[in-house]
Every structure is written in structure tokens, then in C-alpha cells.
Amino acid sequence: MTIFKSVLELNRPFNVICKKCLNSSAQLPNVLTSETCEISESAQIKEIKPYEDIPGPKPLPLLGNNWRFIPYIGDFQIEHIDKVSKKLYQKYGKIVKVGGLLGRPDMLFLFDPDEIEKVFRREDSLPLRPSMPSLNYYKHNLRKEFFGDIGGVIAVHGENWQKFRSKVNQIMLQPRSAKMYAQVILETAEEFVKRIGGLRNAASEMPDNFLNEIHRWSLESLARVALDIKMGCLEEHPPDDTQRLIDAINTFFINVPILELKIPFWRVFPTSTFNRYIEALDSIREICLKYINKSMDNLDLDADENQLSVMRKVLKREKNVKLASILALDLFLVGVDTTSNAVASILYQLSINPNKQLLLHEELDRILPSADSRLTIDKLDEMSYLKACIKETMRMFPVVIGNGRQTSSDCVIGGHHVPKGVQIVFQHFVISNQEEFFFESDTFLPERWLQHSKMAKSHHPFASLPFGFGKRMCLGKRFAELEIQILLATIMQNYRVEYHHPKLDYYIHPMYTPNGPLKLKFVNKH
Ligand code: HEM
């Protein structure tokens, strides 16, 4: 059979493949033979283009493409990867190769939800998200004596990841489990709403560092859910280590892309960035362990499981203190800044879209008619416009602008042969802001997410995925959603939010967030 002969002659899998296989979402065979493909020679075939033909910025000899991240010389600024990604899409199209990155595999930017769907659907049982080799190094080399063979989920791969994740998946991801924490999440939201009242200046505006205040809420909320501990973040004078923890988490996130995308000198010697990063991770570990141990002190494992914090639930089921502590550590590492930046972005979008905020208030006033009306899960379930406002913000400004997977075998993506080991980057931010996938894509239109609205259109299910997808999707999704919904409902029950300053651009710092002091004005509703 001539088709298959040409594969063998070129010694390159997937040089040609039948159209049926190409469009299939099934895992493609590694080497195409007449046994693995039912299509006869006469069937329509499609040429698979070689990997080398994927367009993208050309690497320089010796410097590869890393030079592009050098300040003042290169054209890739980490803070503006959103704009860089858009430009790459405009210049090269839906599949772009950024190769020649020293110390790391090629990156393949995907701007096509059909192709993203295929990658996700082909995912095997051990999906590999290729992020944070520096954290992997921290957990498995530098602080090996602490982590041992229990690395947690962040920056952990293969069977170790699967073993850990299978033990915590149900506790973290069942919607019913998350809802059990509604009461403590509500108490923390109410505390924060009170604090907002006290933070206002004479013009009812927030201080320049309002984002830090939101971090404090996010940390307190997570500590209640994960450990059943009141850290006191929302008190007038919080314990010193709460701010230290917030700063360390920020330092950690800011340095991740620097260590990953710039020339990785840290792999050869400890650079100042690397030292700062390790210091931050050590602080996170030290402070979290202090609170984890506190939480253990008054542990009653015989208590009704529904009353237990996430960490205690895991402890009760697994009887493994190390595993429960490492889970809590991972949650603090990635569960604070993500949620707080999402809240900052949602409040900002509502403040600059007052007509949409008005519709949100109409919904809230109907469901919670007075300042004393009690928010319950049932009432929250009725708040479809509130949820649509959150979804719409996450579509236009996803806090995590892209996600990724590393190919575990040779495959075909976008009609090209792609070898094993390449890092596929799903460009969600660029995709979900395109007219092709969302009409009036640059308009804040929560109605598009409402089932019964005239503006609701069916969307490509892979065009906006703020929490990822599949076996490795965000472990904290249920908690993040609940925390954000409860906080937003509590704020909007009490205040109208306005913004009277020059419009803010967005940047990556370290999440995708409004760039500038969030001088929101909170006006009493009652
Ligand atoms: C708005 C808030 C959040 C957003 C937008 C977000 C987004 C994401 C995304 C995009 C991923 C990668 C998913 C994938 O690879 O398919 C992820 C992973 C993860 N997230 Fe979140 N996240 C948020 C909040 C949280 C919170 C509050 C927690 C913890 C309580 C959390 C814990 C995690 C963990 C542990 C992972 C790694 C999962 C794994 O690799 O197995 N996230 N998140």
C-alpha cells in the first residue's frame, strides 16, 4: 500500500494519515499501518505537514528565542504576554511554534478551540501540564526531605500526581462538598463587607492597595475552608505572618514565568531571582505549616465529616498527616491570588458597566429584598445574572490567560505532525475575545450566558475554559466559584460599585488583572 510505504520510507510517523483518523478524537496510533487504519487506499487522504513547517518567530543561533524576553531588547514582555499572544496569532495564524527556548521544550501556541478540544479528548490517564519546573525542582530536589514521594498536585506529574489527586478529587470537586462550606464562606464575606465600609475615604473610595485587601479576604476564606482556622486576616491589625504569606505567594507567582521563560541560568547556579523564589516558597511552607499544625491541635476525627475542613476530611479518610498537609500547602499556593484577582476584575467590570450592574441589582433586590435578608445556597442558585457576570468577566479577562499540556506521544495537531514532549499552550484569552467565537466579543454582555436570553447563543465549549478541563482541571474550581459568588452577592446586597478614574488596562501581575490602583467607590444601597 503506497500510503503506508511512504510513512515507512520517511521513517516519520503520521506523514500521511486518512482523513477519518485525522478528525477522530480517539488517541492516534503511534505508527500507522494497514492494520491500524481501516480506510482503503482509495479513501480520501490528507497530507500531514511536517512539524518544521509550523510558523512562528525564528530562534537566533545560540540565544534561541529567549532573547525576546530580555527587557529593552526583546519584544516579549512577560507582563504583556496577552498582547504578545494576540500579535503572534495575527502574524502566524491558529498554530504558532515558539521554539529554541533554552532549557525547555518548544511551545506550540494553539488559537483554535477545535484543536484544543481534540488535544483534551485524546488526553490519557496521566495528563501532563508543563508548568513550573522550578517548583518541581523545589519539591523533589531542594526540599526532598520534607516532601518525600508525596509531592501534591502542583508541578507534580505521572503516577505520583494521579495517586495524590485520586485521594482528594471527590472532597474537592463534588458540588455538594463545596456547598457544605457555604456558611463559613458567607461569614468571611460579611466580615469583608464590613471592612469595606471602614476602608472608605471621604469620597467613599477604596485605598490604592485595595487589591491587597481582597487578597486578605481570599486568604481568610481559604483558611476557613481548608483548615477551619480563623487567621485574622480581616482584623484591623492582622497577625504579621498573614501579610508575609500574601507577599510570599505574590513573589512566588511573579517569579515563575521569569524562571521559565528567560534564559534559565538558575539551572546552573542560584540567581537572585531563584533565591527570592526559594525564599518565598520556604516562607509559604513555614507559615502554612504553622496554621496546619494549629488546625491539627484541636482535631476531632470522630466529628461528623460534613463539619470538617478539607484537610481534616482528607486526614480522616487517608490517616496520613503528610498527605493532608501537602494538600493544604498546594491549595494556599494557588488558591489565594487566583480568586482575589478574579474578584478584583469582576468588581472593576461591573463598575465600568453600570447598566449591567443595574440588572444585577434588580436580580439581587428581588432575591434578597432587604439588607437583613439571609443569603442561602437556594437563593444563590437563583442568581443566574450574578453567575453570568462572573462568567463574562472570566471570558474577557481570564485570570489565567492560557493553559497547557505536554504531548505524551507523537500526534497530529492543526494538520501538522507534532512530536512527543512539545508543550501545547491553549491560548484561551485570545480565543475567547474573538468575534468568531463570541459575537460582540469586546462588549461586556453577561446575557450571552443566560439560558433564556435572546442574546444567548451556543458557544464552542472549548472557547472559554477559565478553570481548564479534564482530569487535571482546577482542583479548587467549586470553592473558587462559591467564594466569588457569595462575596459578590454580599457586596452587591449592600453597595453599588462605581469607578471615576481613567480606564485601567489589564496586565499579567502575576494573574491577568486591572493595572492600577483599584479606587472603587462603594455607595451604600440602604
Ligand atoms: C478564579 C479562581 C481560579 C482560577 C481561574 C483557576 C484556574 C486554574 C487553571 C486554569 C488550572 C489548570 C487546569 C488544567 O490544567 O486544566 C488550575 C489548576 C489548579 N487549581 Fe485553580 N483556579 C482558581 C482557583 C483555585 C482555588 C481557590 C484553588 C484551591 C482551593 C485552586 C487549586 C488548583 C489546583 C490544586 C490546581 C492543580 C490541579 C492539578 O494539576 O491536578 N484553584 N486552576
Ranges 167-181, 243-257, 344-358, 380-394: which has the least confidence: 167-181
Is 474 part of any known ligand binding site?
Answer: yes
Check residues 144 and 9 and name the one with the higher pLDDT.
Answer: 144
pLDDT at 365: 96
Contacts of 272 (CB under 8 A, 6+ apart): none
**Mean of the pLDDT values across residues 488-517?**
96
* pLDDT of 43 higher than 80: no
The response to whether residue 402 sits with its C-beta less than 6 Å from ligand 1 reads no
- Ligand 1 centroid distance, CA of 380 (Å): 22
Helix (H) or strand (E) segment spanning residue 451:
none
pLDDT at 67: 67
* pLDDT of 28 higher than 50: no
pLDDT at 295: 85
CA atoms 486, 327, 173, 453: torsion sign = positive
- Ligand 1 centroid distance, CA of 388 (Å): 20
Q: Crossing angle for the helix pair 158-173 and 310-318, nearest 10 degrees?
A: 120
**Mean of the pLDDT values across residues 438-463?**
91
Per-residue pLDDT tens over the stretch 109-120: 999 999 999 999
* pLDDT of 54 higher than 50: yes
pLDDT at 240: 94
pLDDT at 506: 97
- Closest Cα to atom 23 of ligand 1: 338
- Domain assignments of the chain as residue spans, ordered by start: 138-524
* pLDDT of 322 higher than 70: yes
- Closest Cα to atom 7 of ligand 1: 467
The response to whether residue 249 sits with its C-beta less than 6 Å from ligand 1 reads no
Mutation pick for ligand 1 pocket among 162, 166, 172, 338 (CB with most ligand atoms within 8 Å): 338
Per-residue pLDDT tens over the stretch 86-116: 999 999 999 999 988 877 889 999 999 999 9
Give the percent of the chain with pLDDT over 90: 67
Query: Predicted confidence band at 284 (pLDDT cuts at 50, 70, 90)?
Result: very high
Contacts of 67 (CB under 8 A, 6+ apart): 60, 73, 74
Average pLDDT taken over every residue of the chain: 87
Q: Which atom of ligand 1 is nearest to the CA of 172?
A: 30
Check residues 126 and 26 and name the one with the higher pLDDT.
Answer: 126
* pLDDT of 151 higher than 90: no
pLDDT at 72: 66
Q: How far apart are CA 356 and CA 486, in angstroms?
A: 19
* pLDDT of 207 higher than 50: yes
- Ligand 1 centroid distance, CA of 219 (Å): 15
Q: Crossing angle for the helix pair 337-352 and 210-227, nearest 10 degrees?
A: 130
Q: How far apart are CA 466 and CA 253, in angstroms?
A: 18
- Closest Cα to atom 35 of ligand 1: 475
The response to whether residue 127 sits with its C-beta less than 6 Å from ligand 1 reads no
- Ligand 1 centroid distance, CA of 478 (Å): 10
Contact between residue 54 and residue 423 where contact means Cβ atoms under 8 Å apart: no
* pLDDT of 134 higher than 70: yes
- Ligand 1 centroid distance, CA of 73 (Å): 34
* pLDDT of 255 higher than 80: yes
Q: How far apart are CA 120 and CA 470, in angstroms?
A: 7
- Ligand 1 centroid distance, CA of 361 (Å): 29
What distances in angstroms separate CA 54 from CA 65, 418, 422, 480, one per listed residue? 15, 9, 13, 37
* pLDDT of 39 higher than 70: no
- Biggest CA-to-CA distance, the chain: 82
Q: What cell does 496 get? A: 453599588
Q: How far apart are CA 214 and CA 340, in angstroms?
A: 6
| CATH number for the domain whose boundaries are 138-524 | 1.10.630.10
pLDDT at 526: 83
Query: Predicted confidence band at 515 (pLDDT cuts at 50, 70, 90)?
Result: very high
Q: How far apart are CA 382 and CA 500, in angstroms?
A: 31
**Mean of the pLDDT values across residues 253-282?**
90
- For 426, the 3-state DSSP assignment is strand
Place of cell 503506497: 2
Q: What is the pTM of this model?
A: 0.91
